[in-house]
Structure 1
Amino acid sequence: MFDIGFTELMLIALVGLIVIGPERMPKVARTVGHLLGRLQRYVGDVKADIKREMQLDELKKLQSDVAAQAHDMESRVNEQMKETETSLTQSILPSGDVTIPAPAENAPSESPTRTPPTA
């Protein structure tokens, strides 16, 4: 975290001993240790949050890429279906005239006729 060597640490401890005094030095050292521990945990939490945000951004980008590809695929499929529909329509009805044959007179009707029961 900090690029401090052993000699720099000893110099800081010596200056602290002179300025603070030998009576309060252990309490100050403990307080500084606790503060450094909190600082390290805070930095670790920030790093983890940044890493999660980066992963979330990557997932959002991946989701948008997949959605774009799905939309492209859907448009291509719809285009192919329209082309197939027009080609089938042209092959079935080459002249474009649609004539519906009239039903024959002696053909059975769609609803059956009931005969009353004879007794």
Structure 2
Amino acid sequence: MFNIGFGELILILLIAFLVVGPQDLPKVARALARALKYFHGIIGEITQSVNLDSELTEISNVKSKIQQTVKNVNPLNDIDNEINDVKEKLKSTEKTLKKSSNF
């Protein structure tokens, strides 16, 4: 996680021992561990929130595509067109029959 080798860790512990002192070192270590745990939790929540936002955006895009597809493939439009064609043919046939009956 931090890319710290064993030698570097020993050096950090030695400096902490000299700065803090042997009596307060366990307290400082516990406080540091709590802080790291807290920050790790916050980072997890932020990551989860970002992932959720990206998923919601993706779902919204898919919803838009589906709505557009449904709009383009509406079967009622095809049926309406067919009905209109049949009406026109019937009108044409009716006119032809009226002309034939007038003679």
Runs (5+) with no aligned partner, structure 2: 99-103
Q: Give the deviation of 1:88 after TM superposition.
A: 0.8
Q: Percent identity?
A: 25
Which whole-Å CA distance do the structure 1 matches of 2:87 and 2:15 have between them? Answer: 95
What is aligned with 1:60?
60
* Separation in structure 2 between the aligned mates of residue 48 and residue 5 of structure 1, nearest angstrom: 30
Return the structure number with greater helix share: 2
1:40-51 matched pairs, under 5 angstroms = 40-51=40-51
1:36 aligned partner: 36
Distance in 2 (alpha carbons) for counterparts of 1:39 and 1:6: 24
**Distance of aligned partners of 1:96 and 1:3 in 2 relative to their CA distance in 1, 3 Å threshold:** farther
What pairs with 1:67-78 in structure 2 (closer than 5 Å)? Answer: 67-74=67-74, 77-78=76-77
Equivalent residues in 2 for 1:3-18 (5 A)?
3-18=3-18
RMSD: 2.0
Give the secondary structure class of the aligned counterpart of 1:93. helix
In structure 2, give the amino acid aligned to 1:67. Q
State the TM-score, normalizing by the size of structure 1.
Answer: 0.69
Listed as ranges, the gaps of 5+ residues in structure 1 are 100-119
Per the TM alignment, residue 85 of structure 1 is displaced from its structure 2 partner at its CA by: 2.3
**Which ranges of 4 or more aligned residues in structure 1 deviate by more than 3 Å?**
none
How far residue 17 of structure 1 moved from its aligned partner, in angstroms, is 0.7
Partner of 1:88: 86
Give the TM-score taking structure 2 as reference length.
Answer: 0.79
Higher relative contact order (CA 8 A, sep 6+): 2
